[in-house]
Amino acid sequence: MRRPIIAGNWKMYKTIADALELANGLKRELYAIEGVDIVIAPGFTLLDEISDVIAGSNINLGAQNAHWEAEGAFTGEASVAQLKELDVKYIIIGHSERRQFFGETNEGVNKRIKAVLSGGLIPIMCVGENLSQREKGNTFSVVQDHLRGGLEGIEKEEAKDIIFAYEPVWAIGTGKTATPAEAQEVHGFIRKKLAEIYDNDTAQSMRIQYGGSVKPDNIEDLIKQEDIDGALVGGASLKVDSFSEIVKKSVG
Ligand code: PGA
């Protein structure tokens, strides 16, 4: 049985005061919840303060990216070691907004994933097609390309901890969710590819989140799908009520 994992991607939202209010509210709402891994991924400037607030709770800290080098002249980036110092445990890598607006490539994603793993943290590796790729019938080839490129040279023993997030770009922040059946179809494909790249047991143990307009009213139908093991939530993770409800509904 794969344990569900719900992660909130706060993107470039919230100042410190607002972020503290949100984190404290989530702690109050979620302290008794068991059977699900809960992650929040605030922006870099918020990590230190949020880390203190959630220390010792059932909410884990995530970051939204990390560079592959240990240190160096890389303006605007943060290293795995710098994030680890703040008790970050999960790092989102290859989010479609990174790919689309900041030129992130499979090669960069692959290097970042390797750095996260060798630092002992857990990558949340995002894959997914955009609207024109879907309309041209290229969903599976794009997803396969993201998987193969991102996982290049990563052995099974290391890869088993990676969390995958299937995020159809056309469903992110648009209010359009893939139907549970559409999402399941791609999740099943991802698991099949992971079995080809690694082996069936490894693929069966890996967790695959769905992301793209996840809300309290669609999480239950999504999480019921055989190969959907959680959610990567953007907009609805910015409010105590909606994120808590999503977490609670993911464990029934
Ligand atoms: P959304 O974002 O829930 O606002 O669609 C999801 C994501 O980008 O991770």
Residue 167 annotated among the catalytic residues of the structure? yes
Report pLDDT digits (tens) over 17-27. Answer: 999 999 999 99
Atom of ligand 1 nearest to the CA of 96: 8
Report pLDDT digits (tens) over 127-165. Answer: 999 999 999 999 999 999 999 999 999 999 999 999 999
User: Measured between alpha carbons, how far apart are the two ends of the chain, in Å?
Assistant: 15
Tokens for 37, please give them. Answer: 């891994």
The SS3 assignment for 79 reads: strand
User: Which pLDDT score is estimated for 122?
Assistant: 98
Residue 95 annotated among the catalytic residues of the structure? yes
Compute the distance between CA of residue 55 and CA of residue 60 in angstroms, rounded to an integer: 8
Q: How far is the CA of 31 from the centre of ligand 1 (A)?
A: 24
Q: How far is the CA of 171 from the centre of ligand 1 (A)?
A: 8
Q: Does residue 85 surpass a pLDDT of 90?
A: yes
User: Other C-beta atoms within 10 Å of 91: how many?
Assistant: 27
Q: Is 71 exposed, middle or buried (0-12, 13-18, 19+ CB in 10 A)?
A: exposed
Residue 252: pLDDT band with limits 50, 70, 90? confident
Mean local confidence (pLDDT), 94-117: 97
The SS3 assignment for 207 reads: strand
Helix (H) or strand (E) holding 40: strand 37-41
Ligand 1 pocket test, pick from 166, 172, 219, 238 with the greatest ligand atom count within 8 Å of Cβ, gives 172
Report pLDDT digits (tens) over 38-78. Answer: 999 999 999 999 999 999 999 999 999 999 999 999 999 99
User: Which pLDDT score is estimated for 178?
Assistant: 87
Please report how the helices 106-118 and 139-151 are oriented relative to each other, as an axis angle in degrees rounded to 10: 40
